[in-house]
Structure 1
């Protein structure tokens, strides 16, 4: 289910789902196209549970491929959830570096994700 929040001259799509919605690059692109068609939104907030675990295994390449597509389509993306179970230093570094930028964020709560994309 996708909710839309309007604010600061923008629309943010919020996906608060416990079932996996993004399990491949094609699924991510389909989601982006659906959201853009329905609302024109170019900002997406999604729960960590709605993304396949493979995304968080950097060696799979899935995160890099998806985020590159989002850059190409000018999509800003925030994932919220609990990352404490991950021990991979490369993943922790990736999350840290993403959070220093302006396009992709990994935060704990939906409210923080919305706030990041509303800036």
Structure 2
């Protein structure tokens, strides 16, 4: 069940900067959502290159506002190229603030 999840459309501007995250948080605010599901294709490639710091800054904004962030979709091209990213994804999926899921059905199953 995804009643408290704001599901972002796959078309739209990519999330790359903190202000992009804040814009999305602003869209979400007032909807009663506790999670935001962002299609992987909406995240700029810099998000998946951990050395840029983009992922940390974006996920921290969501955490600061008490929102979980779910990255929805196939990110295998990024994880195949980076052991650090694979480790971070695995660690994030054990937590409660950031999840990487294949689809909305997996997100719904995790939320129950």
TM-score under structure 2 length normalisation: 0.87
Equivalent of 1:24 in 10, 17, 22: 17
1:81-108 Cα offsets, whole Å, 9 max, x none, are 1122122011001100000111110111
TM-score under structure 1 length normalisation: 0.82
Q: Distance in 2 between matches of 1:34 and 1:84?
A: 28
Partner of 1:55: 47
Report how far residue 60 of structure 1 moved: 0.3
Determine helix, strand or coil for the equivalent of 1:77: strand
Higher strand share: 1
Q: Displaced runs of 4+ in structure 1, greater than 4 A?
A: none
2:34 pairs with 1:42: yes
Determine helix, strand or coil for the equivalent of 1:85: helix
Report how far residue 27 of structure 1 moved: 0.6
Structure 2 unaligned spans of 5+:
none
Report how far residue 115 of structure 1 moved: 3.0
CA RMSD, 1 decimal? 1.5
Q: Distance in 1 between matches of 2:22 and 2:34?
A: 12
Q: Distance in 2 between matches of 1:114 and 1:26?
A: 28
Equivalent of 1:98 in 79, 84, 92: 92
